[in-house]
Amino acid sequence: MEPGIEAAKGSAETILGMKLPVLMRVVLPGLEATAVLYPAVKWLLHFLPHEKAEIWQPIAAYVVLVLLLGAILSTANNEFYKIYEGRRGWPERLAEWARQRQAARLSRLQQAAKSAATQAGYDEIWEQLRAYPIDENGDPKATHPTMLGNILAGYEQYPVTRYNMDSVFFFRRIWLQLEKDKKEEIDGQWCIADGFLALSAVGMAGAAAWTVQALVALLGISSKGLPFENSGWALLGAIGWLVLSAAWYRLSLPFHRENGETFKSIFDLYREKVWSLTSLKPRELEMWENAWAYLQYLAVRCPNCGKWTSIRGDQCSKCGFGLAEFERKLKETGQFPV
């Protein structure tokens, strides 16, 4: 983990008294979602029975709402990624147009790298170019309609091109082999990008919701006393949420790049933890099949006809072969004959 990120993580946990993953994935998105819904929630609270003197009641209601919305949003994290990567919800023509824009940006970066006046400038440009996936010639290419999609595709491609390891399949298995403190350290870094992306998604949803309410109010459908009675304020709020959404998204990109480097390092350093997956023991496939049949159904393969039969019977139900000797050897050796 970068020193700056580690220091920020430690400070946040010390000041707020909570783990950073909870803060980034639950509390902050829940707070923003509550802010998006605030006018509607405030309006609805007037209909709930409460004592005016009890100020803690609305505060408690908002706290519960923050945690509830945050928990719901944390479960939708994977869906946010699919949308922001360009894998879901994008019309084909829009996705191709956006991908072409990413390709044009990539071309500009490559030209800038060639004409960089200093080594520092060249290194800075290539720091951005390294985020893209590469083609068969080793050159960066734009494969997704968004910058986030290309960043993720770039580091997910790394295990395939370096070790011929499928990133999705093997990463889950490597992750389960890591020590608990190591996983917590990595998750503490990754949650920052997750949180900023969730905040961006909430801001985008807020922009859409407030725009709809502005149109409703503009058409005079909203009655007096309902939230967003003024269409101008609602539209201004929608613009604000849209700007905030874009800012959260931009802020998340450097953290996604940093997460990508950690992802690559996990394969570089820990792939030997799943080395046992590269080989099978002699007759292992048949042994697992025999074990499953015995444990699930108390069934074994008859040594005479090879058909499945119950071990409880004195003889094979298919050919009538006596199983007494077979059962005795099974109990003595503890091994299924293959």
Distance CA 28, CA 49 (A): 28
Residue 210 CB-density burial (10 A; 0-12 exposed, 13-18 middle, 19+ buried): buried
pLDDT band, very low/low/confident/very high, at 313 (cuts 50, 70, 90): confident
Distance CA 259, CA 188 (A): 11
For residue 289, tell me if it sits in a domain: yes
Instruction: Tell me if 207 sits within 8 A of 34, measured CB to CB.
Output: no
pLDDT tens digits, one per residue of 124-167:
888 888 889 998 888 999 999 999 999 999 999 999 999 999 99
For residue 150, tell me if it sits in a domain: yes
Q: Answer whether residue 9 shows pLDDT above 60.
A: no
For residue 217, tell me if it sits in a domain: yes
Domain boundary among 250, 274, 298: 274
Whether residue 268 is found in the same domain as residue 155: yes
Full-model pTM: 0.82
Whether residue 267 is found in the same domain as residue 290: no
Structure-block tokens of residue 121: 């400038």
pLDDT band, very low/low/confident/very high, at 15 (cuts 50, 70, 90): very low
Whether residue 160 is found in the same domain as residue 72: yes
Structure-block tokens of residue 302: 């008859």
Distances (CA, A) of 146 to 102, 134, 206, 264, 285: 7, 16, 21, 21, 44
Looking at the chain, the whole-number percentage of residues with pLDDT higher than 70 is 87
Looking at residue 19, its pLDDT comes to 86
Instruction: Tell me if 154 sits within 8 A of 132, measured CB to CB.
Output: yes
Looking at the chain, the whole-number percentage of residues with pLDDT higher than 90 is 59
Whether residue 161 is found in the same domain as residue 266: yes
DSSP 191-257: HHHHHHHHHHHHHHHHHHHHHHHHHHHHTT-SPTTSTT--HHHHHHHHHHHHHHHHHHHHHHHHHHH
The count of domains in the chain is 2
For residue 288, tell me if it sits in a domain: yes
Whether residue 253 is found in the same domain as residue 150: yes
Amino acid at 270: Y
Whether residue 175 is found in the same domain as residue 293: no
Looking at residue 303, its pLDDT comes to 87
Distance CA 85, CA 153 (A): 9
Distance CA 311, CA 297 (A): 9
Q: Answer whether residue 287 shows pLDDT above 50.
A: yes
Whether residue 266 is found in the same domain as residue 299: no
For residue 133, tell me if it sits in a domain: no
What letters, b where the CB count within 10 A reaches 16 and e where it falls short, cover 105-122?
A: ebeebeeebeeeeeeeee
Domain boundary among 274, 298, 319: 274
Whether residue 244 is found in the same domain as residue 155: yes
Structural domain boundaries enclosing 319: 284-333
Whether residue 185 is found in the same domain as residue 40: yes
Determine which of 10-14, 75-79, 189-193 has the lowest per-residue pLDDT on average.
10-14
pLDDT tens digits, one per residue of 81-118:
999 999 999 999 999 999 999 999 999 999 999 888 88
Whether residue 81 is found in the same domain as residue 149: yes
For residue 43, tell me if it sits in a domain: yes
For residue 235, tell me if it sits in a domain: yes
Structure-block tokens of residue 240: 């604000």
Whether residue 165 is found in the same domain as residue 215: yes
Whether residue 175 is found in the same domain as residue 308: no
Q: Return the SS3 of 301.
A: strand
For residue 320, tell me if it sits in a domain: yes
Distance CA 139, CA 59 (A): 55
